[in-house]
Each structure stands twice: as structure tokens, then as C-alpha cells.
């Protein structure tokens, strides 16, 4: 763990004074002085992040890197997504999801109705995203050199059909994950076009990663909620939040306890983003029995049972072990 330099302490003071809205860095330089190096808990020593960036992640639970993924790469991901939607290729293990407002209507589904594809680890073109050296260099700063890609998504948030079902309730991604330690997990989420309040950008509660995993359940939304879109149970809409407006290629890295969601898409276009959740190859699986994660375990097992006609022999852990792919270093205990 590095010793904060004099420069770092200057930056902390600077952040204190200037981070309006976003929670400032430690309230005094003392809290990360030489005597307390353990304060840097969420990032590892590295040559990439500036002290400002490192402290920002420590304090806020996310870090936004502008213009990280190239236009060429994003255009290729978009083309591949379109091929999947047109059913020109079939990807083993891929989950295609339609918005609940469309799935539950008489509407004849066309490719435009796909709101999300998940688990594209067997699609070499989309999976390239998870192995991009530019992304992995950042991921390593949070979880170390052994890197597993655990969960992949391309989110195609549809124009809201009028029931606000395009929203994603505020949640912590750790709710879905039966592995630990929590600080060795990180999400990379890249905007595939401009994302703003109009088309439903990410909304985050800065600093919420310092809390614990909360109880999650379906929010009581009149217009319905998408399958598995659990939200934190006692969501306080008064909590200060930050809208992450991003341009094509901008990438945010965030901690799995950070409370986040996304607003409704009030534009006629589909809002696209691609993401991957990474975990260290030396993370380990936990049994979620008796924890707040029991409800999601049950739901996942029900879906697996229906889709694959299997019973209790497939565990929650198995569903993750099968999906995980090593992208750098060693797969030790995952
Ligand atoms: C960090 C992680 C964060 C997250 O993972 S957030 C949550 C991510 N979402 C997921 O994991 C996706 C879960 N979705 C799925 O597994 C599938 O899309 C789902 C819901 C099982 C549907 O699978 P399909 O193969 O399309 O099956 P189907 O068309 O025969 O529909 C079966 C029943 O499901 C319903 N359905 C489809 N899409 C839905 C939706 N978006 N929300 C709620 N219900 C939905 C559909 O109406 C049908 O219901 P019924 O049996 O007719 O009553
Ligand atoms: N009861 C709830 N439980 C969990 N999450 C919620 C709840 N109500 C709203 N949210 C989530 O809070 C976030 C903000 O939603 P909201 O629609 O109020 O704002 P927005 O559309 O992002 O921004 P704007 O203020 O510009 O409309 C979204 O992620 C939304 O899904
Ligand atoms: O792209 C979005 O709307 C956020 C999705 C998300 O947070 C998730 O699926 O876990
Ligand atoms: Fe999420
Ligand atoms: Mg709104």
C-alpha cells in the first residue's frame, strides 16, 4: 500500500473544497496520513491512476474515464448486436431480454424490441470488449492482475412505452453475485453513444459503496418492472444523486456496492451501453443461504430450471462458474 505523498494530501484538501454534489475526499488530510495507509482500501497500487483518480474512487465508488473505447470498436459491437437481433447468428448461452411492457403485450417482437443481451461470453466479437487491454489496465487497479470476466451485458434501453418500464431501479450489483471479497469485483460500463438524462443515463449515489449490501426486491411500480430488476428495498429518493452523462466510448468503473440505476428513456432512440463485471481470479464463492441474496438465488434457479429442465443439481454457484472466463492472469479459486 503506498504512502500518500505531500502532493496527495494537497489534492485531498482540494477535493474537500471543490467537489460539490459528489462526496468529497476524506474530511481532513489526516485521515489518509502516513499513519493510516489502510485507508486506501478500494484501489491497489498501480502506475495508471493519478492520486486524484485513486482518491475519487475510494471516496465515491466510481471513476469515469472519458473516451476510453474507440469508435471503431464500438461500431463493431453495434454491428454484432444487430446480427444477433436479426438472428443471423446464434450464440450459445446468450440471454435475450425484451422489455416487460413489450413482452406482455400483443406486439409482434422485432429486433428493435430487444432491451438487453446478457452472457455473450461465447460471442468472440462482443467478448472482445471484455479483453480490451485499455479496459483491463484499469480493472487491474481495482482487482489485481488475475482477472475473470463474470458477467457480460449489452443494454439497449428502449424508448419508454409509456409505463416507465425502461427504468432500472436503484440497486447494488453485488446482490446478484455469490462471490467475494467485495472489493475485488468491479464493473466496466461503456456508453455506445451519448447517454444523458433524456435517454436514461446511469444515476449513482456517490459514496454508497462504503455501506453494506442491502435488501433488494421488486419496486412497487404501477407500470410493472422487468424480470430480475430488483431495487434496494428502502430507496430514499431524497438521497443526493449524480447523473453520469457520457459520450460514446466513455467508460465508468464502479464498485459492486455502489447504489445505481438508470432513468427512463424519453427519446425515440434505443440507448446502448456495453458492460462487463470482473472479479479477481482468487475470489471465492459463498453460500447465500440465510442472507439477503436468497431471493435472487431462488429466482435464478427457477429460470435455469425452466430453460434447461434441470432441478436442484444446478446451484447458484454453478451458474456463475459456467459463465466466468479468464481474461488475464490465473483462475485460482473461481
Ligand atoms: C449485475 C447484474 C444485474 C442484473 O443482472 S439486472 C437483471 C438482469 N436481467 C436478467 O437477468 C434477465 C432475466 N431475463 C430472462 O432471463 C429472460 O428474459 C426471461 C424473463 C426469463 C424471458 O425469457 P424468454 O426466453 O424471453 O421467455 P418467454 O418469452 O417465453 O417469456 C417467459 C415469461 O416471461 C415473461 N417475460 C418476458 N420478458 C420479461 C421481462 N422483461 N420482464 C418480466 N417478464 C418477462 C413473459 O411474458 C412470459 O410470461 P408468462 O409465462 O407468459 O406469464
Ligand atoms: N422506488 C424506487 N426504488 C428503486 N429505484 C427507484 C425507485 N424510484 C425511482 N428509482 C430509480 O431512481 C433513478 C432516478 O429515477 P428518476 O426517473 O426519478 O430520475 P431520472 O429520470 O434519472 O432523472 P430526471 O430527474 O432527469 O428525470 C432511476 O434509476 C429510477 O429507476
Ligand atoms: O445500463 C443500465 O441501464 C444499467 C444496468 C445495470 O445497472 C445492470 O443491469 O445491473
Ligand atoms: Fe447494475
Ligand atoms: Mg425521470
The per-residue pLDDT for range 90-117, each reduced to its tens digit, is: 999 999 998 888 777 655 555 468 999 9
The residue with cell 482487482 is 143
Residue 33 banded pLDDT, cuts 50, 70, 90: very low
- Quick one: DSSP state of residue 3? P
pTM for this prediction: 0.88
**DSSP characters over 278-301:** EEETT-EE---TTSTTHHHHHHHH
Dist. CA 55 → ligand 4 center (Å): 22
- Residue 100 pLDDT: 83
- Residue 284 pLDDT: 98
Residue 105: which CATH number? Answer: 2.60.120.620
Provide mean pLDDT across the span 55-61. Answer: 98
Provide mean pLDDT across the span 122-135. Answer: 98
**Does the residue 117 lie in any domain?**
yes
264 lines ligand 2 (CB under 6 A): yes
C-alpha span between 277 and 169 (Å, rounded): 18
Element (H, E) at 56: helix 51-60
C-alpha span between 104 and 3 (Å, rounded): 56
**Does the residue 333 lie in any domain?**
no
Provide mean pLDDT across the span 28-44. Answer: 60
Instruction: Count Cβ neighbours within 10 Å for each residue of 290-320 and write b for 16 or more, e otherwise.
Output: eebbebbbeebbeebeeeeeeeeeebbeebb
pLDDT of 213 above 70 = yes
HSE value, Cβ hemisphere, 13 Å, CA-based, for 156: 20
Parent domain of 106: 37-327
SS3 of the chain: helix, strand, coil, percent, to 5: 30, 20, 45
Provide mean pLDDT across the span 266-275. Answer: 96
The per-residue pLDDT for range 253-262, each reduced to its tens digit, is: 999 999 999 9
**Does the residue 7 lie in any domain?**
no
Give me the number of domains the chain comprises. 1
Nearest ligand 1 atom to the CA of 277 is: 1
The residue contributing the CA closest to ligand 1 atom 23 is: 97
Residue 237 banded pLDDT, cuts 50, 70, 90: confident
- Residue 27 pLDDT: 38
The per-residue pLDDT for range 294-331, each reduced to its tens digit, is: 999 999 999 999 988 888 889 999 999 999 999 999 99
C-alpha span between 231 and 242 (Å, rounded): 17
Dist. CA 243 → ligand 5 center (Å): 11
- Residue 20 pLDDT: 36
**Does the residue 244 lie in any domain?**
yes
184 class by beta-carbon count within 10 Å (0-12 exposed, 13-18 middle, 19+ buried): buried
Element (H, E) at 64: strand 62-65
The residue ranking higher by pLDDT, 191 or 234, is 191
**Does the residue 101 lie in any domain?**
yes
224 lines ligand 2 (CB under 6 A): no
Dist. CA 287 → ligand 3 center (Å): 25
CA dihedral of residues 17, 22, 26, 28 (deg, nearest 10): 20
Write down the mean pLDDT value for the chain: 88
The residue with cell 486506501 is 40
**Does the residue 31 lie in any domain?**
no
* Residue to mutate, 99, 160, 166, 167, ligand 2, most ligand atoms under 8 Å from C-beta: 167
170 lines ligand 2 (CB under 6 A): yes
> Who lines ligand 3 at CB under 6 A?
153, 155, 157, 168, 173, 202, 260, 262, 273
- The grid cell for 73 is 470498436
pLDDT of 14 above 80 = no
- Residue 311 pLDDT: 81
Residue 13 banded pLDDT, cuts 50, 70, 90: very low
- Residue 106 pLDDT: 56
**Does the residue 65 lie in any domain?**
yes
C-alpha span between 169 and 225 (Å, rounded): 9
223 lines ligand 2 (CB under 6 A): no
**Does the residue 126 lie in any domain?**
yes
Residue 207 banded pLDDT, cuts 50, 70, 90: very high
ipTM: 0.82
Amino acid at each position: 500500500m503506498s504512502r500518500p505523498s505531500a502532493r496527495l494530501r494537497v489534492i485531498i484538501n482540494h477535493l474537500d473544497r471543490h467537489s460539490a454534489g459528489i462526496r468529497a475526499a476524506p474530511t481532513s488530510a489526516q485521515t489518509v496520513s502516513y499513519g493510516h495507509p489502510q485507508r486506501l482500501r478500494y484501489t491497489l497500487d498501480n502506475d495508471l491512476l493519478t492520486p486524484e483518480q485513486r482518491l475519487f474512487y475510494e471516496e465515491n465508488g466510481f471513476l469515469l474515464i472519458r473516451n476510453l473505447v474507440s469508435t471503431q470498436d464500438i461500431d463493431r459491437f453495434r454491428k454484432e448486436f444487430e446480427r444477433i437481433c436479426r438472428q443471423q447468428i446464434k450464440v450459445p448461452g446468450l440471454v435475450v431480454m425484451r422489455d416487460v411492457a413489450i413482452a406482455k403485450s400483443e406486439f409482434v417482437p422485432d429486433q428493435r424490441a430487444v432491451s438487453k443481451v446478457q452472457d455473450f461470453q461465447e460471442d468472440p466479437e462482443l467478448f472482445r470488449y471484455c479483453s480490451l487491454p485499455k479496459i483491463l489496465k484499469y480493472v487491474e487497479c481495482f482487482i489485481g492482475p488475475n482477472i475473470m470476466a463474470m458477467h457480460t451485458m449489452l443494454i439497449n434501453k428502449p424508448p419508454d412505452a409509456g409505463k416507465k418500464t425502461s427504468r432500472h431501479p436503484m440497486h447494488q450489483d453485488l446482490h446478484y453475485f455469490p462471490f467475494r471479497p467485495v472489493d475485488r469485483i468491479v464493473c466496466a460500463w461503456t456508453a455506445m453513444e451519448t447517454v444523458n438524462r433524456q435517454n436514461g443515463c446511469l444515476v449513482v449515489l456517490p459514496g454508497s459503496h462504503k455501506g453494506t449490501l442491502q435488501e433488494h426486491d421488486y419496486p412497487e411500480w404501477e407500470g410493472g418492472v422487468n424480470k430480475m430488476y430488483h431495487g434496494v428495498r428502502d430507496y430514499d429518493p431524497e438521497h443526493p444523486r449524480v447523473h453520469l452523462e457520457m459520450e460514446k466510448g466513455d467508460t465508468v468503473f464502479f464498485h459492486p456496492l455502489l447504489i445505481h440505476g438508470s432513468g427512463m428513456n424519453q427519446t425515440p432512440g434505443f440507448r446502448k451501453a456495453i458492460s462487463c463485471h470482473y472479479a479477481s481470479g482468487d475470489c471465492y464463492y459463498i453460500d447465500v443461504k440465510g442472507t439477503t441474496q436468497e431471493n435472487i438465488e431462488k429466482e435464478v434457479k427457477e429460470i435455469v430450471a425452466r430453460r434447461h429442465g434441470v432441478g436442484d443439481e444446478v446451484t447458484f454457484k454453478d451458474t456463475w462458474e459456467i459463465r466466468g472466463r479468464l481474461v488475464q492472469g490465473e483462475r485460482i479459486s473461481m
